[in-house]
Protein backbone atom coordinates (compact mmCIF):
# COMPACT_ATOMS: atom_id res chain seq x y z
CA UNK A 1 0.00 0.00 0.00
CA UNK A 2 1.52 3.30 -1.04
CA UNK A 3 1.00 6.64 0.65
CA UNK A 4 -0.05 9.53 -1.57
CA UNK A 5 2.37 12.40 -1.63
CA UNK A 6 1.17 15.44 0.26
CA UNK A 7 2.15 18.98 -0.57
CA UNK A 8 4.39 20.85 1.77
CA UNK A 9 2.94 24.13 0.52
CA UNK A 10 -0.09 25.72 2.13
CA UNK A 11 -1.96 28.85 1.06
CA UNK A 12 -3.45 30.65 4.05
CA UNK A 13 -6.14 33.15 3.08
CA UNK A 14 -7.07 35.82 5.60
CA UNK A 15 -9.55 38.61 5.07
CA UNK A 16 -9.90 41.36 7.64
CA UNK A 17 -12.34 44.23 7.86
CA UNK A 18 -11.07 47.00 10.10
CA UNK A 19 -12.85 50.08 11.34
CA UNK A 20 -10.62 53.14 11.38
CA UNK A 21 -11.71 55.37 14.24
CA UNK A 22 -8.69 57.68 14.17
CA UNK A 23 -7.24 58.29 10.71
CA UNK A 24 -4.62 60.68 12.11
CA UNK A 25 -3.28 58.00 14.45
CA UNK A 26 -3.03 55.47 11.61
CA UNK A 27 -1.38 57.98 9.29
CA UNK A 28 1.00 59.10 12.05
CA UNK A 29 2.04 55.51 12.79
CA UNK A 30 2.68 54.85 9.10
CA UNK A 31 4.74 58.04 8.78
CA UNK A 32 6.73 57.01 11.87
CA UNK A 33 7.41 53.58 10.35
CA UNK A 34 8.61 55.24 7.14
CA UNK A 35 10.88 57.59 9.12
CA UNK A 36 12.43 54.61 10.94
CA UNK A 37 13.42 52.90 7.68
CA UNK A 38 16.92 54.22 7.31
CA UNK A 39 17.79 52.46 4.06
CA UNK A 40 14.80 53.71 2.05
CA UNK A 41 15.83 55.83 -0.96
CA UNK A 42 14.66 59.46 -0.80
CA UNK A 43 12.38 59.18 -3.84
CA UNK A 44 10.68 56.09 -2.46
CA UNK A 45 10.32 57.79 0.94
CA UNK A 46 8.55 60.81 -0.63
CA UNK A 47 6.21 58.50 -2.55
CA UNK A 48 5.42 56.40 0.55
CA UNK A 49 4.79 59.48 2.71
CA UNK A 50 2.46 60.92 0.08
CA UNK A 51 0.51 57.66 -0.29
CA UNK A 52 -0.06 57.12 3.44
CA UNK A 53 -0.98 60.77 3.98
CA UNK A 54 -3.61 60.75 1.22
CA UNK A 55 -5.32 57.45 2.08
CA UNK A 56 -5.77 55.71 5.43
CA UNK A 57 -6.14 52.38 3.59
CA UNK A 58 -2.64 52.86 2.18
CA UNK A 59 -1.40 53.72 5.68
CA UNK A 60 -2.87 50.47 7.02
CA UNK A 61 -1.33 48.48 4.18
CA UNK A 62 2.02 50.01 5.10
CA UNK A 63 1.61 49.05 8.77
CA UNK A 64 0.31 45.50 8.37
CA UNK A 65 3.12 43.00 7.93
CA UNK A 66 2.17 39.45 6.93
CA UNK A 67 5.70 38.29 7.71
CA UNK A 68 5.15 39.08 11.39
CA UNK A 69 1.94 36.99 11.40
CA UNK A 70 3.82 33.76 10.76
CA UNK A 71 7.39 34.65 11.69
CA UNK A 72 7.13 32.94 15.08
CA UNK A 73 5.27 29.84 13.85
CA UNK A 74 7.57 26.84 14.33
CA UNK A 75 8.27 24.61 11.37
CA UNK A 76 7.17 27.00 8.60
CA UNK A 77 8.91 29.40 6.27
CA UNK A 78 7.04 32.20 4.51
CA UNK A 79 7.87 31.90 0.82
CA UNK A 80 5.62 34.53 -0.71
CA UNK A 81 3.11 37.10 0.52
CA UNK A 82 0.97 39.79 -0.98
CA UNK A 83 -1.60 42.07 0.53
CA UNK A 84 -3.59 45.13 -0.31
CA UNK A 85 -6.11 47.40 1.29
CA UNK A 86 -9.05 49.41 0.09
CA UNK A 87 -11.81 51.48 1.57
CA UNK A 88 -15.13 49.62 1.37
CA UNK A 89 -18.78 49.97 2.21
CA UNK A 90 -19.42 47.54 5.03
CA UNK A 91 -22.78 46.23 6.20
CA UNK A 92 -22.34 43.50 8.83
CA UNK A 93 -25.96 42.40 8.27
CA UNK A 94 -25.45 41.78 4.56
CA UNK A 95 -25.11 38.12 3.46
CA UNK A 96 -22.12 39.27 1.39
CA UNK A 97 -20.14 39.66 4.64
CA UNK A 98 -21.00 36.28 6.18
CA UNK A 99 -17.57 34.90 7.05
CA UNK A 100 -18.97 31.39 7.57
CA UNK A 101 -19.94 31.09 3.92
CA UNK A 102 -17.60 29.69 1.28
CA UNK A 103 -16.15 32.33 -1.02
CA UNK A 104 -17.03 30.29 -4.11
CA UNK A 105 -13.41 29.45 -4.94
CA UNK A 106 -13.16 25.80 -4.05
CA UNK A 107 -9.97 25.00 -5.93
CA UNK A 108 -6.88 26.25 -4.16
CA UNK A 109 -4.25 23.97 -5.54
CA UNK A 110 -2.74 22.95 -8.85
CA UNK A 111 -3.37 19.73 -10.70
CA UNK A 112 -0.61 17.95 -8.77
CA UNK A 113 -2.03 19.17 -5.46
CA UNK A 114 0.54 21.88 -4.71
CA UNK A 115 0.49 25.63 -4.62
CA UNK A 116 3.92 26.62 -5.68
CA UNK A 117 5.28 30.06 -4.84
CA UNK A 118 7.38 31.58 -7.46
- 82 Cβ partners below 8 Å, 6+ apart? none
Q: What is the pLDDT along the chain (118 residues), one digit of tens a residue?
A: 555 677 789 988 888 889 999 999 999 999 999 999 989 999 999 999 999 999 999 999 889 888 888 888 999 999 998 888 888 888 888 887 776 655 554 444 444 444 434 3
DSSP string computed for 33-85: HHHH-TTS-HHHHHHHHHHHHH-HHHHHHHH--HHHHHTT-TT----------
Task: Please report how the helices 42-54 and 56-63 are oriented relative to each other, as an axis angle in degrees rounded to 10.
Answer: 120
Domain parsing of the chain, residue ranges: 39-73
Amino acid sequence: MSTPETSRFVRLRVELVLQVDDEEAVTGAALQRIAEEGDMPAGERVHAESAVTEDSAEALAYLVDPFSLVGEVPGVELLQASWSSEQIDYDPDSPEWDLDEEDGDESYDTEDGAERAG
